[in-house]
């Protein structure tokens, strides 16, 4: 994790239903991924689920 932050590696943000991955998207660097997490979490709280991009 520290290497990703220091070297500016890109992150992937995911949403899960229970333990199963449901959705994921590339999200840029540490700051961009934090903003994306907040946006997705707010949308989920409002009942707007992201599209189901990952299958079992």
The one-digit pLDDT tens for each residue of the chain (56 residues) are: 555 556 667 889 999 999 999 999 999 888 899 999 999 999 999 999 999 988 86
- Please state the domain count of the chain: 1
Q: Is 4 helix (H, G, I), strand (E, B) or coil?
A: helix
The tokens describing 17, both together, are: 């239903």
Residue 52 lies in a domain: no
27 located within any domain: yes
Q: Does 50 reside within a domain?
A: no
Please state the pTM of the whole predicted model. Answer: 0.75
In a domain? residue 12:
yes
Q: Name residue, tokens 């409002």.
A: 46
Could you tell me the two tokens for 1?
């994790």
In a domain, 56, yes or no: no
With respect to residue 6, please indicate whether it lies within any of the assigned structural domains.
Answer: yes
Establish if 54 belongs to a structural domain: no
Instruction: Give dist(CA 51, CA 1) in Å, integer.
Output: 27
- Which domain does 15 fall in, by range? 2-45
């Amino acid at each position: 994790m520290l290497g990703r932050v220091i070297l500016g590696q890109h992150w992937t943000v995911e949403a899960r239903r229970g333990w199963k991955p449901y959705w994921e998207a590339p999200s840029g660097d540490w700051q961009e991924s934090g903003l994306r997490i907040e946006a997705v979490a707010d949308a989920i709280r409002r009942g707007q689920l992201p599209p189901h991009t990952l299958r079992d």
